[in-house]
């Protein structure tokens, strides 16, 4: 039996809208990496200008480490929807998803090596492969396994860190600055040739892509994707209108608890353990608070009308994400405007917001003429091949 791509009428608008908001948050957080050698500095002590200090505090508490969990959860949500569709239509699931993840891995490799080192697509692709093994598990067991897989390793590691920090010094902080690598980054990205930028990008990718992305992917990204698949089995987004009270509770508790934990490096000191607590447990709690709050807002017709264009950017999320990297590196790298290391954090944040607004407008225009984003079309074409062409021809004949 033939397998086929998901068509427009089968999409869930709330899912696309949350993807759109997640992409904005991810871009604001990623902007720190686009214009500053952030992986080689201690951001809690490096910034001295008051506006930079306050902007970083705002991003660190409310943005960074919060929106990529939302995207990971939605990624798992979508994969389970594909599984249930394949099960309902009695079409192949595992071979198709494996092909999709292989192509996504290829996109991620191109993105990481030729555009920007902070790629997340490869990590998502690898964890998407692994989800094939777990997606058939019932929701209650899948969610329980995901929570244990996420909480136990990170909780144990943070407990060990706190114990070691207590032995070392009561005021031990996580200050880290590598001046040599900062100079190399600025030299390459702001002034270097394309080959010098490629070499520096590769070195950065070994740090944030291979070491952080893949190693932490198994204990952070994979459980979040699994949790998203479990939420999809429960149809949480589709049933949001019947879950207003539970969603309100999650919004309040997740929001308050997440913000409290994410503020720990500022209220109790930027120790390694506090930073890890902020990034892991604080980020995920706040992510659930944001998601619940958005689902409540989406019950309001005016909100749906005003922010409908953001759903369009979410609908072509792969195109939106990759073009953010293209635009961001063009603005700051030497083969473009060469502004790397030359702007403050507040300006960088407003650039991210401005570029995203343009992306939303572009998505609105593009999707008024085409059914999918350009990179999404290529992804579907490489996955489904001739079957996608047949579907498009039938659609044209019916219109």
Residue 1 has a CB neighbour count (10 Å cut-off) of 8
Per-residue pLDDT of the chain in tens (399 residues, 90 and over written 9):
444 445 444 568 999 999 999 999 999 999 999 999 998 999 998 999 999 999 999 999 999 999 999 999 999 999 999 999 999 999 999 999 999 999 999 999 999 999 999 999 999 999 999 999 999 999 999 999 999 999 999 999 999 988 888 887 644 555 556 788 899 999 999 999 999 999 999 999 988 877 666 667 888 999 999 999 999 999 999 999 999 999 999 999 999 999 999 999 999 999 999 999 999 999 999 999 999 999 999 999 999 999 999 999 999 999 999 999 999 999 999 999 999 999 999 999 999 999 999 999 999 999 999 999 999 999 999 998 855 545 544 544 444
- Residue 184's nearest CA partner among 48, 46, 340, 339 is 340
Number of Cβ within a 10 Å radius of residue 141: 11
DSSP 164-229: HHHHH-TT-------HHHHHHHHHHHHH--HHHHHHHHHHHIIIIIIIIIIHHIIIIIHHHHHHHH
Q: What residue has token string 């005003």?
A: 306
pTM of the model: 0.92
Main-chain dihedrals φ then ψ at residue 155, nearest 5 degrees: -60, -45
Tokens of 258: 């997440």
**pLDDT attached to residue 1:** 41
CB-based contact 48:339 (threshold 8 Å): no
CA–CA gap between residue 216 and residue 224 (Å, rounded) = 12
Residue 329's nearest CA partner among 194, 216, 145 is 194
Number of CB atoms found within 10 A of residue 335's CB: 12
Domain boundaries along the sequence of the chain: 8-398
């Amino acid at each position: 039996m033939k397998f086929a791509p998901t068509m427009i009428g089968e999409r869930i608008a709330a899912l696309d809208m949350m993807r759109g908001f997640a992409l904005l948050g991810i871009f604001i957080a990623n902007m720190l990496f686009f214009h500053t050698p952030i992986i080689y500095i201690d951001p809690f002590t490096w910034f001295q200008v008051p506006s930079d200090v306050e902007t970083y505090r705002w991003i660190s508490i409310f943005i960074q480490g919060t929106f990529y969990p939302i995207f990971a959860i939605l990624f798992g949500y979508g994969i389970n929807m594909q599984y249930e569709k394949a099960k309902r239509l009695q079409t192949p699931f595992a071979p198709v998803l494996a092909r999709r993840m292989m192509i996504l891995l290829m996109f991620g490799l191109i993105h990481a090596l030729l555009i920007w080192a902070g790629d997340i697509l490869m990590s998502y692709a690898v964890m998407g492969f692994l989800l094939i093994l777990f997606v058939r598990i019932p929701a209650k067991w899948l969610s329980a396994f995901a929570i244990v897989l996420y909480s136990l390793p990170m909780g144990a590691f943070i407990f060990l860190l706190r114990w070691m920090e207590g032995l070392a010094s009561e005021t031990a902080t996580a200050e880290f600055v590598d001046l040599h690598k900062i100079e190399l980054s600025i030299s390459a990205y702001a002034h270097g040739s394309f080959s010098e930028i490629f070499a520096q990008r590769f070195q950065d990718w070994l740090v944030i892509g291979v070491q952080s992305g893949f190693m932490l992917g198994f204990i952070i990204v994979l459980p979040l994707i699994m949790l998203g698949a479990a939420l999809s089995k429960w149809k949480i987004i589709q049933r949001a209108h019947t879950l207003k009270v539970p969603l309100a509770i999650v919004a309040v508790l997740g929001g308050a608890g997440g913000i409290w934990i994410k503020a720990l490096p500022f209220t109790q000191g930027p120790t390694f353990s506090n930073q890890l607590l902020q990034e892991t447990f604080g980020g995920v709690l706040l992510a659930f608070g944001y998601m619940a709050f958005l689902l409540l807002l989406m019950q309001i017709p005016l909100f749906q009308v005003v922010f409908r264009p953001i759903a369009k950017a979410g609908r072509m999320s792969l195109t939106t994400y990759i073009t953010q990297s293209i635009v961001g590196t063009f603005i700051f790298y030497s083969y473009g405007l060469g502004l790397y290391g030359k702007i403050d954090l507040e300006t960088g944040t407003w650039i991210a917001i401005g570029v995203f607004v343009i992306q939303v407008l572009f998505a609105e225009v593009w999707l008024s003429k085409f059914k999918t984003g350009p990179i999404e079309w290529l992804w579907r074409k490489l996955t489904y091949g001739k079957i996608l062409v047949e579907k498009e021809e039938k659609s044209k004949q019916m219109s």
